[in-house]
Structure 1
């Protein structure tokens, strides 16, 4: 059987999704190796190192399937390329998404190279709910070429870009978290769960006797914090920078806080002695003020304009329509669970984009990723670097032109690379 010679290295997290990915690869007759990636090594508040427990669960999956097991450590790389970035973003008043950065740098760069170069893999696989436009057999025909990263790919290099497509299970689709991965990584990756629903994946796990992964709870929250108290965690790494809570409506000081990095837009602020709920609508990094509004749907929370940094396009360059017209309608979201929203992209010369939304959206947040879609295709993403005026600001009589002009003047500052 020809497929038997194909060697697929599957990233195992210790959870049900990656375990079932390995089951399906075995079922297809591939030679499968399981690898547990250790990237964050710490004990939680109960004194348990969750990475050890995850590693043990991944090892049990390999024992059950009778496949080789390896573990690889990227703790230093994770610290330098994901966690340091995470802290820096918070210090700058933004709210980062480390899971997207982790996939880009750790799973689809270091792990991919380890699988291909050290384990002799023909392809890698993960338990993500996503699909690509390549047939599985085509994945094995790809050549791995390490190329320097430019703004656009080499014009003389003729090849059709592989598309990243949404998973069949709309609720579980994880293309949002894959929106920064490279074309080379996508060409060498199989997503065995792409066409399946979560309930069917659990059924496969039960049928194959891997009950220990079914008993685990879904991992949610920031990849390395888990279920711990965020404020206590972040204050272990960042110095407190006390500031004031200020009412957006009348500039009244409502209380004090330990640092604006502890708050993100749309979040309820904990204020002692005040009965009503107040919500974070803006932050001023120069004064340390966190601005609050007295209701969860206050117009200060809604905006319909933002700018990203240079967009990472999955196809390596912007869609032809966007290059041709400088504008393009598409869909976007900036949180994994939110519904896709229609928007208009305007391409800037430096590869950044302005995103104009069809209607104002609550709590758009700098530092999060704007992820773009056309139909089932995930086009790529760009980090939100600047927000347009809120509906409240516009209601106060400032014209959108005036606010946009100020934003453009500020944009002369040095732009960051596309991370």
Structure 2
């Protein structure tokens, strides 16, 4: 195993930034100090002028394997992830076939064990009729249970109230939910179809998958969690109104209900549909400036706990389909950290807060063992970011299998220069190394 000594870094960890050195030995952070003396067998990485962060943990991605691999696969998307400083990901069950039995779930882990550049976990999918399988899920080595309370890519809508209540009351595992009210969306869609047929302008997407649809669904899920005592994590919040459902009055460790926001809802608004069109068609939809402002406020005051991506690639050909057959979702995992660094450069958020929301909190919420922090004895999942190394997002440097990004043409101030996964240098200065360093995430749960 290589031994790396990272020198002269500005270490961002647990609410502070301190200058120092970090020694990596045998996958682990073995020493953190103001100055560590080099030995002949050490590989020195000089991080002078750069920030050293814990590796980003993205708690919501769709890497499309198995069954949808023309869009992406675990190998291609995990390569993009490490290039963006994401060292661990939690992938969703709406692949083909859906991961709704223990056997199908384990097949995904088997693929990742042979192809993933980053650490991985896969959610078990809940449906209207697989409660028995859901309850077999091992809390020690599976991130959680995923329920789609609004339909999205894949046919996994859980709309049977009795089943929902059973799942919520029967498992101690974290339940993550996609919240959009199906009846509201259908009624809105019919209204626009009457006027435009299949060619509904994409600028109406946020009025079809409306703020009301989001609030109706998320408020019901939260009500059910409170009634049953379930451990609920609400994915990709997108509206101002939903922010009143969450609290910052108690420490994260005591929260039974936690919240996530995705980078695209913090970056784009409905005004961007005119220039970006279907490239920013997501479920839930990108909404108004007022909604975005409220998301930022809730993120900063700790009603929202996590920043993620909902990375969900589709081909450009698919994105050119008419509204009714154009899939929702887009690729973001390579660019999430540098986008948040742009917000830092503009004074919208501190580096300490970025690390809290993208590294520390996902580790705490999912109870991931020995990751998400820069601590002695923890796995060496680390990212070096230079905040004064500008670059431009273009086709040549996009690593997603789909080959595009809604950010193309954007000039960025910060760049990920090095990514370590389990102590192995997997990415350096624009190149992903041929090192499959990813491990299955484990969880500190009973």
TM over 0.5: no
Structure with bigger RCO (C-alpha 8 Å, 6+ apart): 2
TM-score bracket relative to the smaller structure: under 0.3
TM-score when normalising by structure 2: 0.24
Over alpha carbons, which structure has the higher Rg?
1
TM-score when normalising by structure 1: 0.25
